Chain A
Amino acid sequence: MALGKYSFIQNAVMAGMLSSLACGITGTYVVVRRITFISGGIAHAVLGGMGIAYYLGVDPLVGAVVTALLSAILLGLVNLKAKQHEDTVIGALWAVGMAVGIIFMSMTPGYNVDLMSFLFGNILMVTGPALRILLLLDLIILLIVAVFYRQFLLVCFDEEYARLRGLPVDFLYILLLCLIALTVVILIKVVGLILVIALLTLPAAVAGLFTRNLRKMMGWAIVLGLLFTIVGLVISYNLNLPSGAMIIIIAGSSYLCALGIHKLYIFIECHKETGVRP
């Protein structure tokens, strides 16, 4: 295939690798801690920041990082201090963020070609400078998880016990949400903010079906994320369809297949043990 000779394809593959790394690691926490809705809230709120940055003539990526982190801190505090309002606040942030983004974009003079790529991403338009930012964000995520791996594990598994052991649970939880926020920003480049949630959770969910340890789950989630991205990219290129959407279709159908295989496996194991023929 002659795909590899174009630099935009090379950039796309690089972006796929960098985003798979981030979503494999933090997606694993999203899945085991069951905070998909929070992550979705952060992802959609980000449009507000991108719109404001666009209006001010700043790189939208900067706006995205700032809003993502602010949303993460806000939702973290709500979860810790006012749990009873959490659902409402996430929903509000989700929609208000998008509304702010759309208003600022419509106030920006000129024709808004970028809105669709914010919403649905375009991995084929990732540039060299953007790749460097993605790499930097990846390194930050890797470093923090390497240092706090044990603490994050305990906070996700048993928050109350973490408090008893004197761990700074509030700080750790908000830090974890900030990592998810950074991942969301990385993924926006690839699949856009509407589809972020699928790429964040599906590779990790598939990996979780077949692993017994958080580290292995992360490793497999990274590999699967990369696989989904590359396969989706190739198919979308050949059929001339949107890449972000195709990546998500691949991820979603793989998850369904994995669930089926997992159920079948359990079924066979059970019958092996009881000696009953299936």
Chain B
Amino acid sequence: MGKVLELRGVNFAYDSRLILKDINLEVDEGEFLAVIGPNGGGKTTLLRLILGFLEPVGGSIKVFDQAPSKARHLIGYVPQHGEFNKDFPVSALEVVLMGRLSTGSLFPRYLAEDYTAAYEAMNAVGVKKLADYRFGELSGGQKQRVLIARALAAKPQLLILDEPTSSVDNRVEQDIYELLSQLNKKVTIIMVSHDLGFVSSYVTKVACLNRNLLVHNTKEISQEVIADLYQSSVEMIKHQCLL
């Protein structure tokens, strides 16, 4: 199995404030990794490093054995759905089609194969019926699915999601994890999440991030270890507050 992601001794700092310290992480093909941790623990920074929007201060990052910015075309990225302009006049289908644009899109129209890929992706996440709806009108869970479809339309080898279940209720949260674990049969997934609630039963690996990174294989760990993990992350928050 090929290496999808490899981080070796990665440090990152904004000005003099150390955000990530000596991060080591490996993700193999077919894995489903959840990165959890408190707010301000560096989750978003880690994602931005993997996507090549930031450069590490020290250490090395390889995505599919390449520099992150070179491997972007292999990544399907799903941003948080709350950050979009609600009034933007764009349909769900148009959003999904955006996944078909790339550096080489010079012909000024989408081709039949682009529409096929877009509808396939929407079908796979169950939002085909919403194609003509305005994106801003959709519910949080629906928006999230449309954004996942956009990422899938690009036929990625790695799916990266930033807080896919933020601001959706528990039922929708579980639906989305269910969907991701279905998708995981075909694609490697890295997901950032604020909680461990439902995550543990779907993912293959959990990494707890709070400046340092601790990786656990979910198959190897029991409920007690997960409880411990929770504990330790809570303790780390307390520790930070004291500082």
Contact = CB atoms under 8 A, between A and B. Distances in A.
A67 B87 CA distance: 32
B109 to A, nearest CB: 8
B89 interface: yes
26 contacts: A32-B88, A32-B89, A34-B85, A149-B108, A150-B98, A150-B105, A151-B101, A156-B88, A157-B85, A157-B88, A157-B95, A160-B53, A160-B79, A161-B79, A161-B150, A164-B51, A164-B72, A164-B75, A165-B98, A166-B102, A167-B101, A208-B87, A208-B89, A214-B89, A216-B89, A217-B89
Interface string B69-82: 00011010101000
B72 A214 contact: no
Given A150-B108, A157-B95, A212 B77 contact: no
B110 interface: yes
B54 interface: no
Given A160-B79, A165-B102, A166-B102, 15 more contacts: A32-B85, A150-B97, A150-B108, A150-B110, A156-B88, A157-B84, A161-B77, A161-B98, A164-B51, A165-B98, A212-B89, A212-B134, A213-B91, A214-B89, A216-B89
A207 B96 CA distance: 24
Contacts of A154: 98, 101
Contacts of A156: 88
B154 interface: yes
Q: Which of A157, A167, A217 has the most CB of B within 10 A?
A: A157
Nearest to A145: B108
A212 B137 CA distance: 10
Interface in B11-61: 51, 53
Contacts of A213: 89-91, 94
Interface of A: 32, 34, 146-151, 153-154, 156-158, 160-168, 208, 211-214, 216-217
Q: Which of A34, A162, A163, A212 has the most CB of B within 10 A?
A: A212
A161 B91 CA distance: 17
Nearest to B77: A164
Contacts of A212: 89, 91, 134
Interface residues of B, number: 29
Nearest to B75: A164
Residues of B contacting A: mostly: loop
Contacts of B87: 32, 208
Given A32-B85, A158-B79, A214 B105 contact: no
Contact of B72 (A147, A166, A168): A166
A168 B101 CA distance: 12
B150 to A, nearest CB: 8
Nearest to B106: A147
Nearest to A210: B89
Interface string B91-121: 1001101110111010011100000000000
Contacts of A153: 90, 94, 98
A160 B99 CA distance: 12
A216 B73 CA distance: 31
Question: Which 4 pairs, one residue from A and one from B, show the smallest C-beta to C-beta distance?
Answer: A166-B103, A212-B134, A147-B108, A154-B98
B121 to A, nearest CB: 15
A157 B136 CA distance: 11
B90 A214 contact: yes
A158 B84 contact: yes
A274 B78 CA distance: 34
Contacts of B72: 164-166
A165 B154 contact: yes
Contacts of A214: 89-90
A158 B91 contact: no
Contacts of B97: 150
Interface string B163-179: 00000000000000000
Contacts of A168: 103
A169 B198 CA distance: 37
A182 B108 CA distance: 22
A158 B90 CA distance: 12
Nearest to B133: A212
Contacts of B88: 32, 156-157
Contacts of A32: 85, 87-89
Contacts of A161: 77, 79, 98, 150
Contact of B103 (A34, A158, A167): A167
